[in-house]
Amino acid sequence: MELNEIMALDKQYYMNTFGDRTPVAFEYGKGSTLYDKEGRAYIDFLAGIAVNSLGYAHPALINAIKEQADKFTHCSSLFYIEAQAALAKRLVEHSCGNRVFFCNSGSEANEGAVKLARKYFNRIGMNKYEVISAQNSFHGRTLAMVAATGQEKYQKPYLPLPDGFVNVPYNSLEAVERAITEKTCAVLIEVIQGEGGVIEGSMDYIKGLRQLCDSHGLLLIVDEVQTGIGRTGRFFGYEHYGIEPDVFTLAKGLGGGVPIGAIVARGKAAEVFDPGSHGSTFGGNPLACAAGCAVIDTLTAEGLVEGAEAKGAVFKEGLDKLRAKYPFIVDVRGKGLMLGLELDPSVSGRDIVRSALDKGFIINCAGRNTLRFVPPLVIALDEIKALLDALDEIFADCQKGNA
């Protein structure tokens, strides 16, 4: 199908929740590059929004998917599933967690984590159900996760939202402390807000949240949907802060492009879900879990987590140089290969995204006018350098236009 035909079908048949999509349809990808229907190459610094951790057509991922598909793609969790058990073991071995539950998306993982927190107290006869989360956060699109997501634009059309969620300012320990009541069961937090514009939780804040949860007997749930699976230069984002959450959630990069989500729980929290208390038809699906195993094994075999740290440092240094050169760049943030560059309102982030696309680079704009860079972890240093050069040219044009 030609791009025009796809666009016409989409317009007629698909619910438009995405506004004007970028008028590009990809045909295939290799490494960190996507090729569109006309054969044009784009180096991808978005990776399906922090999903395609191994880039495109990685042989390890393709082989794992093919091998599993050759056997069977789905099997009910009423039976034992080899890939499911194998992936759960890998996640536990790489983390502070003790047990895993698989689902299909980040929203579902977070929703399950909230159910786990409520049940944690319910099973000992305590009526604690409130979850404190942050303003400017993003935890997903189910009704409860819209309530947890502290952004009015996602909440307003769906009122009334489920009860039991309180959104307080990010990076303010006092705000969390003030919000704790006898009904509070958990704090749900991103250690780096992704969709909110790559905003890092401060060391004091994240460490303080752990202490607050300990002193009030609350569960600390870390949403690692975007920060997890090597993206920030550690296997999990919480590792940067020297803390261990009671529960953390995963999705995005875990399947390398195959849909999967996971709830990982530690200690007593790992013993909460018992027979009948939670479930999912597709959660822990053999195909998705085989992909997850291949992703984790490849991250380890190819040193991609350490690579994310090292390449991210070079990338950030390059962005910092641009910041020193162009006064309309107000901030550079992030860790590993989860970086953001905030522009002041005189420059439109969306225009920069378009200009980058014209030059053959895929980036996006998140939060408050912040360019977000979340490339595949296999991205090469010369690809990073190429983007930095392209941004330099684009920003130079902006400056001329602004002058």
What are the catalytic residues? 138, 223, 252
Q: How far is the CB of 149 from ligand PLP (least distance, A)?
A: 8
Q: Is 200 in the site for ligand PLP (CB under 6 A)?
A: no
Compare residues 154 and 395 and give the one whose CB is closer to ligand PLP.
154
In the complex with ligand PLP, the residue whose CB is nearer, 52 or 226, is 226
Residue 190 binds to ligand PLP (criterion: CB under 6 A):
yes
Beta strands in 160-298 (DSSP E): 165-168, 184-189, 192-193, 199-200, 219-223, 247-250, 261-265
d(CA 247, CA 113): 7
Q: Measured from the CB of residue 106, what is the shortest distance to ligand PLP in angstroms?
A: 2
Query: In the bound complex, what is the minimum distance in angstroms from residue 140's beta carbon to ligand PLP?
Result: 4
Interaction mask 275-294, ligand PLP, x per CB under 6 A: --------------------
Of 201 and 318, which has the nearer Cβ to ligand PLP?
201
Residues 49-68 that bind ligand PLP (CB under 6 A): 49
For ligand PLP, the binding residues in 228-257 under the rule CB under 6 A are 251
Q: How many helices (H) and strands (E) does the chain have?
A: 13, 17
CB of 385 to ligand PLP, least distance (A): 27
Tokens linked to 274: 């018992």
CB 29 within 8 A of CB 55: yes
Closest Cα to residue 96, out of 230, 247, 201, 224? 247
Contact range with ligand PLP by CB under 6 A, out of 16-24, 169-177, 218-226, 271-279 = 218-226
Distances (CA, A) of 136 to 19, 34, 178, 223, 364: 21, 31, 18, 14, 17
Draw the binding track, 21-50, toward ligand PLP (x: CB under 6 A; -: no contact). ----------------------------x-
Q: Which amino acid is at 290?
A: A
Instruction: Select the residue whose beta carbon is closest to ligand PLP and give its number.
Output: 106
Task: State the Cα–Cα distance between residues 390 and 97, nearest whole angstrom.
Answer: 42
Query: Where would I find the H helices in 233-341?
Result: 286-301, 304-325
DSSP alpha helix (H) spans, 3-105: 3-13, 47-50, 59-71, 82-93
Residues 105-144 that bind ligand PLP (CB under 6 A): 105-107, 110, 138-140
Pairing of strands 338-343, 370-373: antiparallel
The three-class DSSP label of residue 201 is: coil
Q: Write the DSSP string, 90-149.
A: HHHHTSS-SEEEEESSHHHHHHHHHHHHHHHHHTTT----EEEEEBT----SSHHHHHHS
3-state SS, residue 106: helix
Furthest CA-CA distance within the chain: 67
* Least Cβ distance, residue 335 to ligand PLP (angstroms): 14
Nearest distance from residue 183's CB to ligand PLP, in Å?
24
Q: Tell me: does residue 383 bind ligand PLP (CB under 6 A).
A: no
> Which x/- pattern, by CB under 6 A, does the window 70-109 give for ligand PLP?
-----------------------------------xxx--
Residue with smaller CB distance to ligand PLP, 224 or 383: 224
* Closest to ligand PLP by CB, 208 or 255: 255
Q: Site for ligand PLP (CB under 6 A): which residue of 225, 264, 269, 352?
A: 225
Give whichever of 140 and 292 is closer to ligand PLP, judged by the CB atom: 140
Q: Which residues have a Cβ under 8 Å from the Cβ of 30 and sit 6 or more positions away? A: 55, 56, 57
Minimum Å gap between C-beta 364 and ligand PLP is 11
Residues in contact with ligand PLP by CB under 6 A are 49, 105-107, 110, 138-140, 190, 194-195, 223, 225-226, 251
